[in-house]
Structure 1
Amino acid sequence: MLKGVHLERGHHGQENYMALVIAIDAGTTGVRSMAVGESGDEVAYAYRSFPQHYPGPGLVEHDPNEIWEATVATLDELCTRLRALGDRMMPAIAAIGITNQRETVVAWDRRTSEPLARALVWQDVRTAARCSELEADGHLAEVRRLTGLVLSPYFSGTKIEWLLRHGGLPASGDLAMGTVDSWLIWKLSGGTAFTTDVTNASRTLLYDIAANGWSQPMCELLSVPTAVLAEVRPSAGRFCRTGDTTPLGPGIPVSGVAGDQQAALFGQGCHEVGMAKNTYGTGSFVLMNIGDACPKPIEGILTTVAWDLGEGPTYALEGSIFATGAAVGWLTEILAGAVDPAGAESLARSVPDSAGVVVVPAFAGLGSPWWDPSARGAIMGLTFAAKPAHIARATIESMALQTRDVVQAMSAGAGRDIAELRIDGGAATNDLLCTIQADQLGVPVSRPVVTETTALGAAMLAGLAEGVWTSPDEVASLWRLDQRFEPSVDRAAPDRLHGLWRHALERSLRWSPGEESS
């Protein structure tokens, strides 16, 4: 087993000892475990997908055990790869960092460590009617003031309420309800630590982001007893030590935790006020660092905790887009496997424009700045001249167009324009998307060498806590530019495309969902 026992830097005898930090990135569709060296470079990684469960329209679930099994499998493979480096270095694990899909809710029995229900995923909209009821009863203003969020089925609070009411959970003191980070901490610690960090707590609808604690008014509103919730800690600091439950072995400190988007903001080196990033994953998430003062709510935009390094929270504005990478996945399905996600770019490049076709990927409603769970996806502007290539290009354009809407709303609310957008995530390798994005925003788009900045941010938080890196400035200096995409001087064409997008968008908003979200 690999244990965190060698922390020396440089040479020791004939061997080169190097402190590594392991990042566990538990995303929506799979788990990536990555070893990060002191230079911030990826040393090795492993990935496993896990099943998605769709029991009905608008319902999205995960099996918590399948998430844990994928985690163990990636750590096992990662250990094998690290052992293979033994002829040129002796890797030593200094710490573990965790980053995770946010808002997804797991319920388990603390006595048996077994899940009590399937996890309700952030994409699940079964509580849409409940959110509408709460808003109709006049609770939105208080929710915005206390949590920085909106009344949406996206967030954890109404999911927890639904599980408590309809999930058949035992009314005992052994019940634990938490986000995916809490579940992984529990399993990694061998069932001894029930904790979360402030970034994940700030996404639950149950956390007061100004007072930095679970909100009694919100817990009462949603009938959630605080006894079932995890202890909240800063993002960088000791959460637990590993038990003997993984190939890593016992005794390794788990010292950094952050929700995936906050981890990406940190990993992108956006440590100064006004810096912004966008992560193109299943959805897209634009975050802007706004410093250590909690702002008043901004229409259409969320306020969230970016991180806490132990001296109080740093805040961020966030725009949450529900389907970007997921839209490309949908595209490959409707084209009957004729292209994979990588081939979608080549197909889109085969035409000079989308020929008036617009794709609105509102498969699970629309997030920022609209917050309309009843919106539904649409393809508009079809003519006999429209070909699969035009639909492919319109799908890629939709990723950039949604981002423009979010950035404009964010900049207007904050009274601050962004000077640059740093990007990461799977679709950040799509040069066509990057070019369209720069044109739509009118500012440079910068792609780093390491695009897995979600995992990198979690590793950096853990490494800071354990002394692998000495300061946030040292961490930020590890960010390295791969390519910078400059916007077109001509603004007419991007603005014309955006106008067409907004025209189509209005037609997908406020679609009647019938019975699917009841």
Structure 2
Amino acid sequence: MCKDVFFIGVDVGSTSVRAALVDVNGHVLKTSVKELQTWKPKVDYYEQSSKNIWENCLIVIKNVISSVNPNFIKGIGFDATCSLVVLDKNCNPIAVSESNNDEQNIIMWMDHRAHAEADLINKSGHEILKYVGGKVSLEMEMPKLLWLKRNLFLKWPEFGYFFDLPDFLTWKATGSLSRSLCSLVCKWNYECAENGKQGWNTSFLKEIGLEDLLDNDMQKIGSKVLMPGEYCGGLTDDVAQTLGLLPGTPVGTSIIDAHAGGLGMIGTQGEDIDKKISSRLSLICGTSTCHMAVNAKPIIVQGIWGPYYSAMVANMWLNEAGQSASGMLLDYVISNHPAGIVLSSKYNTGELRKHLYSLLIKMAHEKSLTDMNLLTKDFHVYPDFHGNRSPLADPTMKGMIVGLTIDSSEEKEIALLYLATLQGLSYGTRHIIDALLLAGYEPFKSLLICGGITKDPLYVQIQSDVVGLPILKPNEKESVLVGSAILGACASQYFNNTTDAIQNMGGKAQVIKPNTEIKLYHDKKYNVFLRMFQDQIKYKAVMR
């Protein structure tokens, strides 16, 4: 391998833009990060600025290549959240809500304004919905586009281009209006079926009232569709000059951020762990958590998105599940507790979690318990505070807490709340696995895990204990950035194919093994978890 070959990975997450300089072995040599601005004009509205995002992309890229000969940069890859970018007919930002601030031209993935529109689309019962677990999510793009048409109908004719955020980034870099198959099949109801049929489904768009998106050869939503990592163009002269890179530097077709994490991890190797990629479930854990499974054959799973062809790994079918709030939920339950407010003023996030961990150890010792998990015998958290993405596919689900007491020791109470929330998130993973297995997946042999929450070792261990499987945690901490860099490597054609790039850049992993002695306890708590969502559904029926 050549020591003078590097790739750039750019990741646009929910709160920040990051870039990395990555070598041919998948080692991240340098990173840079810039925080993003987010507006919350109403409850469940989340908006960002494409101008703010792109400017920060340029800054972080320049930071990571500042001491590198531009001749050695062979490719660039972009990933981003599946947020909707809206431009006018002159390719300028245009407002996406009644605020009329054109700076706010992105509806974020987590925005839940399009509830009624998602319901309307789902009532159509169109055949294409089988590829999203039977129901389109209000976090996807078609409900959001329909919301714009119904609620900003006077401005609708002014909208000229709609991009998934990852595709917007490659357009800014290269000028290419191509779209990624990953974004389109996962979030835009673009058809890529097992019978080989591919394209925008005309009858679906007509039935939901968005047939005008087909005008002018689908100019607004894209007609040229490429595989993730496929060469989509070279850096334009202007962008190259701004960055100090060579014009024409290859740029890979983009991918969704969670899928980049899956791509960066899927080739990871751990001792005595099955290397077959279809035996692995990937968890990309950040503000939300995505659960990625790939299979050689398409498997339809009720309540879980997919199967999507070549959306992450070439020629494999992807099923995508997830939790709408995971890291966000942990932050919420801690920061909204009286003790959490006090502790947050003393500790940063990592130190706070360590403090709660030490409290749990102390409490378990005081009660002569063999494992701290036993502390929550009578304390249960159902974690769908921001709705259920999978496998219930019900955005109206709410969080639940059972076991609150009048306890003067607030720190002990918040420690229990923290532990029970970690457990609840892990039971959500198990619920997803059960749905995959019921639909026809072979039993998984391991979990792969990356993302911000994985810095918390208790979260990782509990996930392993609950599902009874070993977890591979990549030694390279930035799997998402490695995944986006793999896209740049594929575009550069340095490797023979995507599989070759994955295997060479995947790296090694630490193996976390489950504690089998606590499995029966978690089985019981998992049964409580199942009863909690079933009871909530009954409560809704009573109140109806």
When normalised by structure 2's length, the TM-score is 0.82
CA distance in 2, matches of 1:511, 1:125: 23
Among residues 121, 143, 161, which one is paired with 1:158 in the alignment?
A: 143
Report the equivalent of 2:330.
Answer: 328
CA distance in 2, matches of 1:510, 1:107: 40
- The 8 Å contact of residues 381 and 424 in structure 2, kept in 1 or not, is answered as yes
1:46 shift after superposition: 0.7
Among residues 84, 87, 103, which one is paired with 1:108 in the alignment?
A: 87
Equivalent residue runs for 1:277-296 within 5 Å: 277-291=282-296, 293-295=297-299
Q: 1:363 to 1:154 in 2, by over 3 A?
A: same
Report the equivalent of 1:263.
Answer: 260
Amino acid in the other structure paired with 2:84: V
Q: 1:404 to 1:248 in 2, by over 3 A?
A: farther
Give the match's secondary structure for 2:406.
Answer: coil
Report the equivalent of 1:57.
Answer: 43
- The 8 Å contact of residues 156 and 203 in structure 1, kept in 2 or not, is answered as no
- The 8 Å contact of residues 372 and 510 in structure 1, kept in 2 or not, is answered as no
Aligned: 1:274 with 2:279: yes
Q: 1:308 to 1:389 in 2, by over 3 A?
A: closer
CA distance in 1, matches of 2:537, 2:477: 33
1:309 shift after superposition: 9.0
Aligned: 1:372 with 2:355: no
Q: 1:158 to 1:240 in 2, by over 3 A?
A: same
Give the match's secondary structure for 1:55.
Answer: coil
Equivalent residue runs for 1:54-453 within 5 Å: 54-80=40-66, 83=67, 92-102=72-82, 104-117=83-96, 118-135=105-122, 137=123, 139-140=124-125, 142-145=127-130, 150-167=135-152, 168-169=154-155, 171=157, 175-189=160-174, 192-210=175-193, 211-224=197-210, 225-226=213-214, 227=218, 228-230=220-222, 231-243=224-236, 244-245=238-239, 246-249=242-245, 250-269=247-266, 272-291=277-296, 293-295=297-299, 297-305=300-308, 307=310, 313-334=315-336, 335-336=340-341, 337-338=344-345, 339-349=347-357, 350-351=359-360, 352-353=372-373, 354-355=375-376, 356-385=378-407, 387-453=413-479
- The 8 Å contact of residues 91 and 161 in structure 2, kept in 1 or not, is answered as no
CA distance in 2, matches of 1:304, 1:73: 37
Report the equivalent of 2:511.
Answer: 484
Listed one character per residue, the Cα deviations across residues 168-197 of structure 1 (whole Å, up to 9, x for unaligned) are 53526x7000100122122223xx321221
1:511 shift after superposition: 7.8
Give the match's secondary structure for 1:279.
Answer: strand
CA distance in 2, matches of 1:149, 1:91: 48
- The 8 Å contact of residues 489 and 501 in structure 2, kept in 1 or not, is answered as no
Say which structure is richer in strand: 1
Give the match's secondary structure for 2:4.
Answer: strand
Report the equivalent of 1:463.
Answer: 489
Q: 1:248 to 1:27 in 2, by over 3 A?
A: farther
Q: 1:309 to 1:121 in 2, by over 3 A?
A: closer
Structure 1: gaps of 5 or more residues: 1-8, 11-16, 513-518
Amino acid in the other structure paired with 2:63: E
Listed one character per residue, the Cα deviations across residues 41-82 of structure 1 (whole Å, up to 9, x for unaligned) are 0011111121222111222222222222221221232233xx
Amino acid in the other structure paired with 1:305: Y
Q: 1:309 to 1:144 in 2, by over 3 A?
A: closer
CA distance in 2, matches of 1:487, 1:58: 37
CA distance in 2, matches of 1:35, 1:207: 33
Q: 1:91 to 1:47 in 2, by over 3 A?
A: farther
CA distance in 2, matches of 1:97, 1:72: 13
CA distance in 2, matches of 1:478, 1:75: 20
What's the % identity of the aligned pairs?
19
Aligned: 1:37 with 2:23: yes
Q: How big is the alpha-carbon RMSD for the aligned residues of Structure 1 and Structure 2? A: 2.5
- The 8 Å contact of residues 170 and 254 in structure 2, kept in 1 or not, is answered as no
Among residues 485, 493, 501, which one is paired with 2:521 in the alignment?
A: 493
- Structure 1's consecutive aligned runs of 4 or more residues displaced over 6 angstroms after TM superposition are none
Amino acid in the other structure paired with 2:465: D
- The 8 Å contact of residues 182 and 196 in structure 1, kept in 2 or not, is answered as yes
CA distance in 1, matches of 2:89, 2:478: 33
CA distance in 2, matches of 1:290, 1:101: 24
CA distance in 2, matches of 1:308, 1:159: 21
Give the match's secondary structure for 2:266.
Answer: coil
Q: 1:340 to 1:133 in 2, by over 3 A?
A: same
CA distance in 1, matches of 2:130, 2:393: 17
Give the match's secondary structure for 1:18.
Answer: coil
Q: 1:487 to 1:367 in 2, by over 3 A?
A: same
1:437 shift after superposition: 0.8
